[in-house]
Amino acid sequence: MTGLLNIVADPATFATVLRVMTPLLIAALGILISDRAGVFNLGMEGMMLTGALVGVLVSAWTGSAWLGLLAAVVAGGLMGALMAFAVNTLGANLIITGIAMNLAASSGTTLGLFFATGDKGMSGALKSGVMPSIDLPFVGDIPVIGPFLSGHNVLTYGALLAVPLVSLMMARTAFGLRIRAVGVDPKAAATVGISVKLIQLKALILSGVLGGMAGAYLSMGYVSWFAQDMTAGRGFIAIAIEVMGMGTAWGTLAATIVIAIAETLAITMQTLGLPNELMQMIPYVVPIVVLTIWTARGRAKRVALK
Amino acid sequence: MNRAFLANLVRLAITLAVIGTVILAVLLPFALPHDHPGTVIAAFLLGPLSSLRHLGNVAEYATPIAFTGLAATVVFRSGLFNLGIESGVFLGGLAATTAALLLPSFGPFTPLVAIVFGAVVGSISCIIPGELRLRWEAPEMVTSLVLNFAILYAGVFFLNYYLRDPAAGSLMSYRIPADAKLDRLLAGTRLNSGAIVALVACLAGGVWLYFTRSGLNLRIVGQGPVFASHLGLSSRRIVMQAQIVGGMIAGMAGAIQVLGLYPRFSWTQLPGLGWTGIIIAILARENPFYVVPAALFLGYLQVGGDFLARDIGIPSEVVGLITAAIMLAVTATAIFQHPAVLRLIRRIRRVEAAR
């Protein structure tokens, strides 16, 4: 038991939670924006994967991690635009478009890696960049809590900062209001002069930008290389997180923390000798249980109101 | 000639034209830097048709995805977007291996027992999200999406602790006994008797959906639950039936894939056959009769991709790009519900009606 207590009180455990959290939070916020605009982004997994590869390749070519991040963000945004084009101009089904995005990204990144390096599995031979960690001035010197708060990846701080920003954007800006209007009732939004297609295009580009950023963190922060299908379902967990968060930025943050703690627990419990496959199940079982309880409670309330 | 048939022929012709265009459009950027772009495209398009053995490879690829395509069709027809078929395939393969290894031999019926066992266990993956949806309104798309991974890790745990052959180099089961394996049909390929089962299953699925009362009930419930309840149909039971049947077909896909192709069970990732099944269901417009040609078509693309990889040196992943583009193109209402197309179809019908 003291072993477990030591793990919980260790700044390293806290750092692991933040590391696990970062890509999930960024991706889930991206899904949130698309969801609220009525164009649920099931292609998030593919956008993350694309961002991860583009970040590694561009940072290796230019020698700059920041340019890699920029390229990853642009690539994600382009995929968002492509998705908007497929849904709103071609008239393809939204969910099918998302599945197609994931398939195209999974094959496309393998091809891209092959043509860039001659290897289909890993980018280990490339000297790609890593996003820097930041030691906060003053904050890092605070006794006890200082080591917990300082020294994390710049994208981790970015992800945490994105929560109030997305929340403010959705609640307090004209753009956020239009997104919500389009998501609730596109026809009503159109009658007051909002261009539904344009708002959905912008929302999906923004969603893709965040997806590219989440992917860049995976290959240039979480680890320092790209591997085939390295997102490993994180885009899908992000979907579950967004649904658990009930479409609000702060709810998404709370859900991300729950999942990240579950995953950290899984990682640390493996070191205590428990079968690691069963521990790996935890972050996937938690959203199913939470979602079921919440929807069941919601239904019970509606029944009680009748 | 039947006018509905003729109108369908118009749609089919457009579909084929769209698919052909998409294949060329995706392939050209890869072919053009090559010295002889023509040979690249020829290898991809004609390679799979070049010999009986390669046609056998096409059918071999088509077998599991015909099953998953049928499974996706049945599940989607119920109106639920249940993605559990992906892990249903995994679970079916694992359960069939378990039955083959741990149960005594049943002589010539050993494969049958293993497949049934695989189908029953595989259906769990679709039943859980379906039940959570019907009982508590939990969104089935999201729960099935994450459940796939939960089932994967539970399965890998089972493989590691109960079926693992310590003598094998990596994580894989003991050798599947010979009497549990399916018969091979064509020398030089892994085409097996599962292909016949797949064909029969798809035809039976079509007959069920279009020519029986319970099939009609399913189509009604899937298209309009409110209308179905006015008719006095028990939506809940009918939807659940579809999840069970769809999950069982997915489990069969995994069981037949493992018993027909592999010496041991060695999946430690989701095999992806369920996602391909969704693509097939879309290509086949959720019609079981069209699942077989759709599966053969994707098998043909896959063998074409193998030719590209072997003869030209372009990774076969290019097939994934082509498939993704086809998915978008064939569901594009901008093409299939274009006013000109609709006018053409209407005119054909009027001509026929006037006769």
Annotated domain spans of chain B: 63-314
Q: Which one of B80, B90, B141, B142 would you mutate to disrupt binding with A, by most A Cβ within 10 Å of its Cβ?
A: B142
- Other CB atoms within 10 A of residue B215 CB: 18
Q: Which one of B275, B302, B321, B333 would you mutate to disrupt binding with A, by most A Cβ within 10 Å of its Cβ?
A: B321
For B332, which residue in chain A has the nearest alpha carbon?
A92
**Per-residue buried b or exposed e for B31-49, using 16+ beta carbons within 10 Å of the residue's own CB:** beeeeeeeebbebbbebbe
Q: Does domain B63-314 have CATH number 1.10.3470?
A: yes
Whether A1 has a pLDDT exceeding 70, the answer reads: no
- Cβ contact (<8 Å) for A107 and B81? no
* Mean pLDDT along residues A54-81: 92
Q: What percent of chain A has pLDDT over 90?
A: 39
Whether A45 has a pLDDT exceeding 90, the answer reads: yes
Whether A294 has a pLDDT exceeding 90, the answer reads: no
* Mean pLDDT along residues A267-279: 77
Q: What phi and psi values does residue A274 have, to the nearest 5 degrees?
A: -80, 150
- Cβ contact (<8 Å) for B327 and A90? no
Q: CA dist A53 to A57, A71, A156, A219, Å?
A: 6, 10, 19, 7
Of A21, A15, A7, A9, the closest CA to residue A255 belongs to: A21
Q: What phi and psi values does residue A230 have, to the nearest 5 degrees?
A: -70, -15
Give chain A's mean pLDDT.
86
pLDDT level of residue A2 (50, 70, 90 thresholds): low
pLDDT level of residue A190 (50, 70, 90 thresholds): confident
pLDDT level of residue A146 (50, 70, 90 thresholds): low
Per-residue confidence (pLDDT) for residue B30, from 0 to 100? 83
ipTM comes to 0.85
- Cβ contact (<8 Å) for A86 and B323? no
Least-confidence region, from A67-71, A229-233, B2-6: B2-6
Whether A250 has a pLDDT exceeding 90, the answer reads: yes
Per-residue confidence (pLDDT) for residue B272, from 0 to 100? 87
* Mean pLDDT along residues A210-220: 93
Q: Does B154 touch chain A (CB under 8 A)?
A: yes
- Cβ contact (<8 Å) for B137 and A295? yes
Q: Give the list of residues 6+ apart from residue B128 with CB closer than 8 angstroms, or none.
A: B84, B143, B144, B147
Per-residue confidence (pLDDT) for residue A9, from 0 to 100? 66
Per-residue confidence (pLDDT) for residue A32, from 0 to 100? 94
Q: Does A285 touch chain B (CB under 8 A)?
A: yes
Of B81, B321, B80, the closest CA to residue A100 belongs to: B321
Q: Are A86 and A42 in contact (CB under 8 A)?
A: no
Q: Are B235 and B228 in contact (CB under 8 A)?
A: yes
- Other CB atoms within 10 A of residue B337 CB: 10
pLDDT tens for each residue of chain B, 355 residues long: 566 777 778 778 888 888 888 888 888 888 888 778 888 888 888 888 888 888 888 988 999 999 999 999 999 999 888 999 999 999 999 999 998 888 887 878 888 889 999 999 999 999 999 999 998 888 888 899 999 999 999 999 999 888 888 887 788 888 888 887 777 777 777 878 888 888 999 999 999 989 999 888 888 888 887 888 888 788 888 899 999 999 999 999 999 999 988 888 889 888 889 999 998 998 888 899 999 999 999 999 999 888 888 888 888 888 999 999 988 888 887 777 788 888 887 777 776 666 5
**Per-residue buried b or exposed e for A191-223, using 16+ beta carbons within 10 Å of the residue's own CB:** eeebebbebbbbbbbbbbbbbbbbbbbbbbbbe
Q: Looking at the DSSP assignment, which residues form a beta bridge with residue B204?
A: none
Per-residue confidence (pLDDT) for residue A28, from 0 to 100? 94
Whether A145 has a pLDDT exceeding 80, the answer reads: no
Per-residue confidence (pLDDT) for residue B186, from 0 to 100? 75
Whether A141 has a pLDDT exceeding 70, the answer reads: no
* Mean pLDDT along residues A72-96: 92
Q: Give the list of residues 6+ apart from residue A278 with CB closer than 8 angstroms, or none.
A: B153, B154, B157
Coil, strand or helix at A10: coil
For A281, which residue in chain B has the nearest alpha carbon?
B150
Q: CA dist A305 to A15, A292, A299, A300, Å?
A: 44, 20, 10, 9
**R_g of chain B computed on alpha carbons:** 22
Q: What phi and psi values does residue B192 have, to the nearest 5 degrees?
A: -130, 180
Residue type, A157: Y
Q: What percent of chain A has pLDDT over 70?
A: 93
Q: Are B259 and B100 in contact (CB under 8 A)?
A: yes
Q: Are B110 and B179 in contact (CB under 8 A)?
A: yes
Per-residue confidence (pLDDT) for residue B168, from 0 to 100? 79
Beta strand extents in chain A (DSSP E only)? 133-134, 152-153
Tokens of A232: 């490993």
Q: Does B332 touch chain A (CB under 8 A)?
A: yes
* Mean pLDDT along residues A162-174: 92
Q: Are B174 and B264 in contact (CB under 8 A)?
A: yes
Q: Which long-range contacts (CB under 8 A, 24 or more apart) does A269-277 make?
A: A272/A3, A272/A4, A275/B157, A275/B160, A275/B161, A277/B153, A277/B154, A277/B156, A277/B157, A277/B160
